[in-house]
Structure 1
Amino acid sequence: MKIIKSLLFLSTLVLFTACKQEKKASPKSNTNTSVTYAKGFDIQEFDTYKKLIINTPYPNAEEALEYIIIPKENSVPDSLKTFKIIRTPIEKVVVTSTTHIPMLELLDEEDALVGFPNLKYISSSKTRDRIDQNLITELGNEESINTEILLDVAPELLIGFSMSNNNKMFNTIEKAGIPVVLNGDWLEETPLGRAEWIKFFAVFFEKEKEADSIFTTIETDYKAAVTIATKATTKPTILSGVLYKDVWNLPAGESFVAKFLKDANTNYLWANTKGKGSLSLSFESVYDKGQHAELWLAPGHYSSLEQLEKADEHYVKFDAFKNHKIFSFTQKKGATGGALYYELAPVQPHIVLKDIIKITHADLLPNYEPVYLQKLN
């Protein structure tokens, strides 16, 4: 999975915290930027600035990271100078995951993107056009951003993500005068929680109202799809995942993928398991529970039944294989070969849900054509 692979190249930022003598901030104002579904961040609004709180900047984080977001024309109060300060609106930004690209595009801020590590991974046609015009700079490989090139690009902000709290690269970038903010959208537990991170991006461009409107549309469409799914008279049994070496990886019962399957009104066979990520199981245990599953969703990177059979002859024993009921999210590719699902789907949970409903309850969406979920032949 590209989003997971790309996560391996960054780690985190150690943030200064406010001193205990900080004077009380002005009262929060009543705005529409409240965070509803996302657990990983929050935005607190005051009269002359905002505080961005990243509750889960990386897995198992014990402390939140806090940033002060303040307009360029405003002075910074002495009581806030121990925080990391981000001046807005941002005009030049570097992001580090392909999942960040659609967020910028939805806010009409793709022109602010001036650099990215491994440009070949970007699939969005709008941003690829800017790459072809040499408007976005290649910043190096996934594990180490070229700091010299980054300094030449001179972004006002770098949005990164991390697997831990130990990263020399981000420290170096910050010492060079480029603020780094960590994004933890990939750690969200629900589809709408992931999509709501558009509000995180909006705060840097002073486009909170636009983000609220965009997210409200996503939320409304998602809830409408959930309502449609409740009309189903059957719940098909679902198998997911695939073997990697000797381990079968599939979504845990508290993961956002399991949430999709629940909202689609299906019977995901591992829905009652604990965990918010993946389960690592033996083939035998998966076969014992899933051999008669009616549908098999997301079989890794495989694009045909023939590929599956060549990879492991045991796959043919599953009813879903015998009945040609295996569906993949990764068949639709961008211009450079990347799976569009991994880049675009995080901000399109309503579309992903409708794809699943179409496959599992075809009669409920008779005129709908799946965008990502395609049958393996």
Structure 2
Amino acid sequence: MKKIMALLTLAMIALMPSVCAQAIGDVNGDDSISIADVVYLFKHRNVGLDVGDLNCDNSVNVVDVVYLFKNYDTFRDPVVFAENFEMDPHWNEGYCYIVDSQDNKFVILEEGENDPEIEGTTVLNLPLTSLVTMTNAPIVATADILNIDSCYDSIKGMPQTYTKYSDELLQRYNEGLIINSGTISEMDYDAVVSTDPDIVFLSYLTSQDTMEDKLNEMGILSARCHVYLEPTFIGRTEWIKYAAAFWGDENSEIIEEYFQETWQKRNELVRTTSTADDYPEVISFSLGSTYMSIYGAQQYYNRMVNEFGGEFIFNDIPGTASTRIDKEIFYERAQDSDVCIMRSFVEVTTVEELLALNPDFEDFESFKNGKFYVSCSDYYIQETKDPIGFMEDYARMIHPELFSGGDSNLKYHYKIQ
């Protein structure tokens, strides 16, 4: 099983697109990625794993040379992982070209620069002074990552429910600097109009389709952000680059560095967990009243399970959509799983609280062996602001034996014991 799963993991890695920027792939350190890097790696195999282990198999060898040779053009692409937006930065020419999740095209133009006059685009002149967002990701999360006053200053409206997840934005909301723009399903259009927004950011929800139509009627520009429909966690994370572009080149550079750190951490975790002796069976799910809810095997939580040395027990369910499974059918597989990771919108930190939700968990092998974990209630917020910490939680829950401190220092999950 170990050998088979290892081969599947390597095959999966090989099929994945490469890193999006020059920090990885630029083996010779000349700030570009070309055939010269392939030659350099062929001649200098003593580079560090973070530089030369391009296929993440915990070694630098001729396989990495071949991998780079086949993919060095792809390594230079500015956006690789995210599937629901396109981005082509030309900051050296004073602008960035973006296509959102509904094929709306924008040119974000630095102050004093010339419009490149790209057909079909709407030009947004920087700095933007009034942004409204009807979703946390990516605008609010990216603002918290940057933690820069000018970014916070530009956010003029958001659903009140999201302000509690950001200390800075909550303070500004309480001071009246940010208005309540409604809920994720119902916009307060009068409040939004009062901010005179440069642009309003909307999510993938069908309720926000109606918002887009209404804003168009009102002559208010909007952009769609289908962050939560990304099939990979790195693709989901890459949306922070989309958000940062609306605050200009300088902040985009900061976010690019942050994204590179995240990507390198992901590769480090893949290398670490690839050294495990076995692949524990893992169930990742959320709890309903009469059913259990899981995502398909291609959804990013379950991909992380497989990438970090586990085997998602419902790998035979394809796609990324959420699926409701009858409890009895769920139990047939989940009861014997080595690891359970339950996503929860309420805080569950103790055995008593867990069994109050579902006493059947007491019969689960993961409960008995001490590897039953429950997310913090705002996990979907934290995974955007701190993707590194969130990924490391997953790796530690699946293979605690490979990490100092094991699973005793999780950031966004509780070990039920």
- Native 8 Å contact 2:269 2:392 kept in 1: yes
Distance 1:220 1:150 in 2: 39
- Give the structure, 1 or 2, with the largest relative contact order (CA under 8 Å, sep 6 or more): 1
2:393 alignment counterpart: 355
Distance 1:306 1:121, change over 3 A: farther
Tell me, in whole angstroms, the C-alpha distance in 1 between the residues paired with 2:226 and 2:186: 19
- Mapped contact 2:145–2:385 kept (Cα < 8 A): no
Q: Residue 175 of structure 1: CA displacement?
A: 3.9
After the TM superposition, which parts of structure 1 deviate over 6 Å for at least 4 consecutive aligned residues? none
Query: Which residue of structure 1 aligns with residue 352 of structure 2?
Result: 306
What is aligned with 1:264?
A: 308
Asked if structure 1 preserves the Cα contact closer than 8 Å seen for 2:204 and 2:227, the reply is no
Distance 1:164 1:52 in 2: 22
User: d(CA) in 1 for partners of 2:208 and 2:162?
Assistant: 27
Q: CA deviation at 1:95?
A: 1.5
Q: For residues 120 and 43 of structure 1, what CA distance do their matches in structure 2 show?
A: 27
Match of 2:225 in 1: 183
**Which residue in 2 is equivalent to 1:296?**
340
Provide the C-alpha distance between the structure 1 equivalents of 2:396 and 2:118, rounded to a whole number of angstroms: 54
| 2:266 aligned with 1:233 | no
Flag the 1:144–1:243 CA change in 2: closer, same or farther, 3 A: closer
2:220 corresponds to which letter in structure 1? I
**Superposition map of 1:205-244 within 5 A:** 205-207=247-249, 208-244=252-288
Amino acid at match of 1:126: E
Q: 2:218 corresponds to which letter in structure 1?
A: A
Residue 372 of structure 2 aligns to which amino acid in structure 1?
I
2:107 is aligned, of 65, 68, 71, to: 68
Gap change, CA 1:307 and 1:299, over 3 Å in 2: farther
Q: Tell me, in whole angstroms, the C-alpha distance in 2 between the residues paired with 1:299 and 1:119.
A: 19
Quick check: 1:238–1:269 contact (8 Å CA) kept in 2?
yes
Equivalents in 1 of 2:248, 2:117: separation in Å? 23
Could you tell me which of 172, 175, 181 is aligned with 2:214? 172
Higher helix share: 2
Tell me the SS of whatever aligns to 2:197.
coil
- For the aligned residue pairs, the C-alpha RMSD in angstroms reads 2.7
Q: TM-score, normalised by structure 2?
A: 0.71
Q: Residues 287 and 342 of structure 2 are in contact (CA less than 8 Å); yes or no, is this contact kept in structure 1?
A: no
Q: Is the 8 A contact 1:195 1:348 kept in 2?
A: no
Query: Matches of 1:299 and 1:317 in 2, distance apart?
Result: 19
How far apart are the structure 1 equivalents of 2:384 and 2:118?
37
Structure 1: distance between partners of 2:134 and 2:367: 37
1:365 aligns to what?
403
Which residue of structure 2 lines up, in the alignment, with residue 161 of structure 1? 203
Is 1:51 paired with 2:97?
Answer: yes
Tell me the residue number matched to 2:22.
none
CA distance in 2, matches of 1:222, 1:122: 29
Partner of 1:18: none
| 1:1-377 equivalence runs, <5 A | 34-45=78-89, 47=93, 49-54=95-100, 56-57=101-102, 64-74=103-113, 80=119, 82-100=120-138, 101-107=140-146, 108=148, 109-119=151-161, 122-164=164-206, 167-207=209-249, 208-301=252-345, 303=348, 304-330=350-376, 339-367=377-405, 369-377=409-417
1:285/1:97 CA distance change after superposition, 3 Å: same
Task: Give the C-alpha shift of residue 234 in structure 1.
Answer: 2.6
- Which residue of structure 1 aligns with residue 59 of structure 2? none
Amino acid at match of 1:35: V
> 2:374 is matched by which residue type in structure 1?
S
Question: What corresponds to 2:12 in structure 1?
Answer: none
CA contact (8 A) 2:144 2:385 kept: no
Check 1:175–1:42 CA distance in 2 against 1; reply closer, same or farther (3 A cut). same
Report the secondary structure of 1:228's partner residue. helix
Query: What SS class does the counterpart of residue 246 from structure 2 fall into?
Result: helix
Q: Assess if the C-alpha contact under 8 Å between 1:34 and 1:42 holds in 2.
A: no
Give 1:34 deviation, angstroms.
0.6
CA contact 1:32–1:209 (8 Å) conserved in 2: no
CA distance in 2 between counterparts of 1:106 and 1:299 reads 23
How many Å separate the matches in 1 of 2:402 and 2:368?
25
Distance 1:167 1:357 in 2: 37
| In structure 2, distance between residues paired with 1:33 and 1:104 | 25
TM-superposed deviation, 1:121: 5.2
Report which stretch shifted further, 307-316 or 70-79: 70-79
For residue 236 of structure 1, report the CA deviation from its aligned partner.
2.0
Which amino acid counterpart does residue 381 of structure 2 have in structure 1?
A: E
Deviations 1:300-358 (A, max 9, x none): 3461433443344433332223444321111xxxxxxxx34221212433222211222
Sort the Cα spacing of 1:111 and 1:211 in 2 relative to 1 into closer, same or farther, 3 A.
same
Measure the CA separation in 2 of the matches of 1:161 and 1:120. Answer: 14
CA pair 235-158 structure 1, distance change in 2 beyond 3 A:
same
Cα shift at 1:120? 5.4
Q: For this pair of structures, how many residues does the alignment match?
A: 331
Paired AA for residue 374 in structure 1 = Y
Task: Answer whether contact 1:89 1:206 (CA < 8 A) is retained.
Answer: yes
> For residue 35 of structure 2, what is the aligned residue in structure 1?
none
Structure 1: 5+ residue stretches without partners? 1-30, 58-63, 331-338
Distance (Å, rounded) in 1 between the aligned partners of 2:76 and 2:155? 26
Tell me, yes or no, if the aligned pair for 1:237 and 1:295 is still in contact at 8 Å: yes
Structure 1 length-normalised TM: 0.78
Identity of aligned residues (%): 18
